[in-house]
Structure 1
Amino acid sequence: MVCSFGGHLTELQSLSSAFDDHETFFVTYENFRTKELETRSYLLDPIHTDVRAMLKAIFQIGRIFVSERPDVVVSTGAEIAIPAFLWGTILGAETIFIESWCRVRTRSQTGRVVYPLSDLFLVQWPELLDSYGEKATYEGGVL
Structure 2
Amino acid sequence: MNTHHPGKKRLLAVASGGGHWVQLRCLMPAFAGCSLALATVHADYVWDGPGDSRFYTIRDATRWDKFGLVILAFQLLLILLRERPDVVISTGAAPGFLALRLGRLIGAKTIWVDSIANVESLSLSGQRIGKHADVWLTQWEHLARPEGPIYIGAVL
Same fold by TM-score, threshold 0.5 exceeded? yes
CA distances 1:10-55 after superposition (whole Å, capped 9, x unpaired): 11111111111001111110354x2433432110121123110101
Structure 1 residue runs of 5 or longer lacking an equivalent are none
Q: Which residue of 2 aligns with 1:21?
A: 33
Structure 2 residue runs of 5 or longer lacking an equivalent are 1-12
Which residue of the other structure, out of 43, 48, 52, is the alignment partner of 1:37? 48
1:11 matched to 2:26: no
Number of equivalenced pairs: 140
Identity in percent = 33
Q: Which residue of 2 aligns with 1:97?
A: 112
Q: Is the 8 A contact 1:12 1:75 kept in 2?
A: yes
Amino acid paired to 2:15: C
Q: Which residue of 2 aligns with 1:110?
A: 125
1:80 matched to 2:95: yes
Q: CA deviation at 1:82?
A: 1.9
1:142 matched to 2:155: yes
What RMSD, in angstroms, separates the aligned Cα atoms of the two structures? 1.5
Q: Which residue of 1 aligns with 2:141?
A: 126
CA distances 1:67-106 after superposition (whole Å, capped 9, x unpaired): 1100001100011112201111101111100011122221
Amino acid paired to 1:10: V
Q: Is the 8 A contact 1:81 1:114 kept in 2?
A: no
Runs of 4+ displaced beyond 2 Å: 35-39
Distance 1:20 1:35, change over 3 A: closer
